Chain A
Amino acid sequence: MFLKTIATAGATTALMTSAAYAGCGLSGGNVNVLGNEFGAIQAVLAGASECAGDGVTIESNLTKEHRDLQVAALTANPAQYTAAIVANSSIVPLLNDGLIRSLDDLVAEHGQALQKHQLITIDGKVMAVAFMANAQHLFYRSDILEAAGVAVPTTYAEIVAAGEKIESMGLMDNPVALNTKTGWNLGEEFVNMYMGTGASFFKPGTAEVDVNNENGIATLNMLKSLSDLSSPDFLTFDSNATMALWEGGQLALATMWGSRGGGILDAEGSSADVVASTVLAGAPTLMGDNVASTLWWDGFTIAANISDEDAEATFVALMKGLGDDVIMANNDEAVWLSAAYQAGPASAGVAATAAAGATPYPMLPYMGLLHSAAGAELSDFLQGNESAEQALADVEAAYTSAAKEQGFQ
């Protein structure tokens, strides 16, 4: 009898311990995360899924189409996902429609491990927890630059000069690439390059666009010079395409996302000499000291239309996913915003870009409309079918009619 009691008590304790461990101390809750698909986010979700079990369920939908799903999915009540992983630009529509909740209480209760700069606060309220930084910056091949006898470029003018020299010496055809696929990618290149002029996209304090000026023309002319050094297919180049070209050894200078650095520098998909001579450097400048790039953060938000229990479970699970062990095991996947992160060659570009004073992507409610307008209207100019003035006038006109429709004017 005594033995039986001991055994039962022991079993109960064992069960409780394992239960507490499996659920990360939670009594229950459903976690379902929507996010972009790349190595760093997958690692976070894999870490978070350790909390699954004992009434806690953890699911996720990681897809490149996440931006197109998030508003509809979080508008539903109850929301289809408990958390959405967003970036500076994609948090805006969620904020506009009030679809994400303030994380103040959850951070106070469970967020001791977070550093202050990870908290994205809007008007004093924590709305998102950032976990990694990203930026487009320069990738270069040290062996090709050496063969051409040029120094590492720090401005876009130097990149054009270096590219022309590489071409004229016959070292490589079309040595330069940017993510210039018509649409979001081309819009992003325009935004980044315009940042290099130091000018503002809008008339101060209004939603009135202001890019049809000498800054806009300088931006477009630089994009044109760079695309002249790119393969004629440049209007179909997205991140996957430029990364494949780079790994194929066909590029010497490229502006690509920092988050691609880990994939390019690993042993897969490329030859050893390409990997050995690939260097990640800060984003070049365009005019003066203005860095022609924007800083991005990726972070998680928690849906407004879910129960408090699910919200707590989501927060705790994602904090588990951002634990020091996960960061250390996936150190090279991203530039983590965590104390456990060790900077390495794959993060050198993003770090240098931030250190050079690049500014974050503008979190304005109407920025997305300008981004789309630029992405759609600039390809004619880059193909040499119209003047820079005409292209900028088209961008402004497309933006203005979209902004009017969305209630911004």
Chain B
Amino acid sequence: MPHKTFFWFILPSLAAMVLFIALPLVSVAVQSLFIEHDQVLIVTENCGPFGCTQETTVDFAASEVLRAEKPLGKFNGLGTYFDRGHLATAEVALAWQDRTSLGDFFSGLYNLPFYRALAFTLSYTFIVTPLVIILGLLIALGVNRLPGMLKGPTIFLSLLPMIVTPLIGSLILFWMIDAQGIIGKTLQWMFDDPQLSLKASAGLTWTTLMVYGVWHSAPFAFVVFYAGLQTVNTDTLEAAQIDGASRFQRIRYVVLPHLTPLVVFIALIQLMDNFRVFEPIVGFSAEANATSLSYIIFADLRGDVMRFNSAAATSLLTVLGVAILLTPVLIRTWRDFKGKVV
């Protein structure tokens, strides 16, 4: 295709990408560099049902003048990125100086909201992603062996967790694992511990969230692998069978190599998805024990005061995190691609 034709061909999608991806990203980046103007405070007498009090309020007229002059706010450079709510450089340095042991340093780090969220986000990503791939593959191999009549209904049932909206799925499970719920009560009975609660400790909450994550995402991996299995070369499989390869050996040496590009694809999608983990935290009310980067953005944008600048900084750090996470996978894809072209 001549370059000119190619350019006109991709122009619409290019324009859409600039408009809906690049521009918002630039706007968020700009916002993260600013903070609110210094507030002009005055003391006024306020009255209500419970009497009158002298209280501090914001002088709206004076603040409006400042805002009209500089609508973006006060320039803060990268200050927001390094404050306690984000990278917390000063606090990390202090924790390193005052450490009594490496564990002490890490618990100091874990006390800071950003690192706390990062710890859960990374653990979730690196535990759920491989489990999803393995479980998805096992389901696909199993379903592939089923007689034709059972295949349809089994595939439909296996896809259900993915069809349920994540927030609804997690809410339903949240009620089931409640101390009064069917799973919660069963566990209490099994472990003979009436005080057992899946919501109470960090370890159990993390486990619950991760089990939920695998449950929710495994069908995606399953569908992709199942499609891949339909294209495995049957001649090779039969040849291997004649050579006396067991089922395990056939899977290990014929099927898996054939599916490798799909593993890379699923890993890519799942790493991105899992790094943005959010709905289960809200659904399971797990804020006390597990927060993710997306959750702290959400928390900044709720409540009486919206902290746009803080949320913008966390968003950009998340983008940076996804980029770092995907680099190895993308490098691998690039190598494969170059190998094929040459």
Contact = CB atoms under 8 A, between A and B. Distances in A.
Given A122-B57, A380-B111, A394-B111, A93 B44 contact: no
B306 interface: yes
Nearest to A65: B302
A59 B85 CA distance: 40
A365 B49 contact: no
Contacts of B56: 205, 207, 364-365
A357 to B, nearest CB: 10
B318 interface: no
B48 A181 contact: no
Interface string B267-295: 00000000000000000010111000000
Given A120-B48, A235-B199, A368-B305, A398 B85 contact: yes
Given A232-B200, A372-B303, A407 B36 contact: yes
Nearest to A361: B50
A365 B58 contact: yes
A183 B179 contact: no
Interface in B163-203: 178-180, 194-195, 197, 199-202
Contacts of A363: 46, 55, 57
Interface string B70-105: 000110100010011100000100000000000000
Interface in A334-367: 337, 354, 359-360, 362-365
B40 to A, nearest CB: 9
A401 B85 contact: yes
A104 interface: no
B60 interface: yes
A289 to B, nearest CB: 17
A402 B310 contact: yes
A182 B55 contact: no
A68 B302 contact: yes
A122 B59 CA distance: 11
A124 interface: yes
Interface string A121-148: 1111000001001000000000000000
Interface string A384-409: 00100010001001101110111110
Contacts of A360: 48, 50, 53
Nearest to B178: A233
Contacts of B57: 95-96, 122-123, 363, 365
A231 B179 contact: yes
Interface in B219-254: none
A119 interface: yes
A90 B83 CA distance: 27
B170 to A, nearest CB: 13
B38 interface: yes
Interface string A208-246: 000000000000000000000001110110000000000
Nearest to B180: A248
Given A96-B58, A96-B60, A397-B84, A119 B47 contact: yes
Chain B at the A interface: mostly helix, strand, loop or mixed?
A: loop
B307 A401 contact: no
A126 to B, nearest CB: 9
Contacts of B73: 407
A117 interface: yes
- Is the interface on chain A under 10, 10 to 19, 20 to 34, or 35 or more residues? 35 or more
Contacts of A404: 35, 83
B304 interface: yes
A81 B50 CA distance: 28
Interface string B191-218: 0001101011110000000000000000
A35 B302 CA distance: 16
B287 A398 contact: no
A183 B287 contact: yes
A376 B299 contact: yes
A71 interface: yes
B2 to A, nearest CB: 48
A368 B194 CA distance: 38
B63 interface: yes
B151 interface: no
B48 A297 contact: yes
B49 A297 contact: yes
Nearest to A93: B304
A238 to B, nearest CB: 8
B50 to A, nearest CB: 5
Interface of A: 67-68, 71, 88-90, 92-93, 95-98, 117-124, 130, 133, 173, 181-184, 205, 207, 231-233, 235-236, 248, 295, 297, 337, 354, 359-360, 362-365, 368-369, 371-372, 376, 379-380, 383, 386, 390, 394, 397-398, 400-402, 404-408
Given A95-B58, A96-B63, A232-B195, 6 more contacts: A123-B46, A183-B299, A232-B199, A398-B84, A401-B83, A407-B35
Question: Closest 9 A-B residue pairs measured CB to CB?
Answer: A368-B304, A123-B44, A232-B200, A407-B36, A235-B288, A379-B288, A236-B285, A182-B288, A232-B197
16 contacts: A68-B303, A93-B306, A96-B57, A96-B63, A123-B46, A173-B194, A183-B287, A205-B56, A231-B197, A233-B200, A297-B48, A362-B55, A364-B56, A365-B57, A386-B111, A407-B36
